[in-house]
Amino acid sequence: MNNITEHIKSRRSVRTFDDRELSKADIEKLASFANTIENPYKIPVDFKFMNAKEHGLNCPVTVGTDLFVGGKIKCTENASVAFGYSFEMFVLYAQSIGIGTTWIGGTMNRGNFERAMKLQGTEQMYCVTPLGYAADKMSLRETMMRKGVKASVRSEFGEVFFDGSFGKALTRERAGKLADPLEAVRLGPSAVNKQPWRVVLTEDAAHFYVKKVKGIPVPSMQKIDLGIALCHFALTAEDLGIATEFVILDSGMPTSADAEYIASYLLK
């Protein structure tokens, strides 16, 4: 995918479509790209296109399209993070060819979607997205929803990225060549726009964490958000020619009681 930074910057959730059916050529492009998608966990995600009328699918926040795509993945360790990474690759590719999407994990009749996906064994369908061409004007419901979650606002750089250890805010200057890959993380979509990603930059690595809410295990939606963060970081770094290596460390990374460790990118 070319111009990744541009697609990350211009993407927004699209919930109001213009009623045009997706062209066959666009569906074919999406389907063949989906077949090439990989994630650093090497857990494959299977993409399936579904028609709302055929399968009785309902997503009350979207209008103007009947086409959805869902992803399914075997439920193993890190599956939710891996899903986030792969599904976001799909979302960004759709953006790059002018097709609107919205990550949907909650607002749908999930039972019907899962039946349409034909889940087998331990397979999970975490999220789906509608696919279509964005309408010129957002529906009132979409406008209200965006206001409700302050969808166009993101945390400041130094609120979510740290310098050497948790607690010390990272500046763009200190981030150096990693400022743009981190900015790409900051702009990412997340469930209810919670932006639960936290990154600690050390001399030789960017360590990724998910913010914990006291007393409860981190929900899978927030781990999916971390997959999105890893995807934005890795694609942007690659685009800028910054060599990195994905690793899951057992020890040696900074820790915090308020954040659960996910993975790191070592700088090569």
Ligand X SMILES: Cc1cc2nc3c(=O)[nH]c(=O)nc-3n(C[C@H](O)[C@H](O)[C@H](O)COP(=O)(O)O)c2cc1C
| Binding positions for ligand X, rule: CB under 6 A | 12-13, 61, 102-107, 127, 145, 149, 151, 189-193, 221, 224-225, 228
Instruction: Give backbone dihedrals phi and psi of 120, rounded to 5 degrees, phi first.
Output: -120, 145
To ligand X, the closest distance from the beta carbon of 126 in angstroms equals 7
Question: CB under 8 Å to 107, separation ≥6 — which residues?
Answer: 59, 60, 61
* Sequence-distant (≥ 6) Cβ neighbours of residue 177 within 8 angstroms: 240, 242
**Minimum separation from the CB atom of position 132 to ligand X (A):** 15
* CA 119 to chain CA mean position, Å: 22
**CA 81 to CA 63: how far, in whole Å?**
29
CA 104 to CA 17: how far, in whole Å?
A: 15
Measured CA to CA, the distance from residue 149 to residue 147 in angstroms comes to: 6
As measured in angstroms, the least distance from the Cβ of 65 to ligand X is 14
What 3-state DSSP class applies to 30?
A: helix
Nearer to ligand X, 13 or 264 (CB): 13
Minimum distance between the CB of residue 3 and ligand X, rounded to whole angstroms?
A: 18
* 114 or 163: CB nearest ligand X: 114
CB nearest ligand X: which residue?
A: 189
**Closest distance of CB 47 from ligand X, Å:** 16
Strand partners, 65: none
User: In the complex with ligand X, which residue's Cβ is closer, 52 or 228?
Assistant: 228
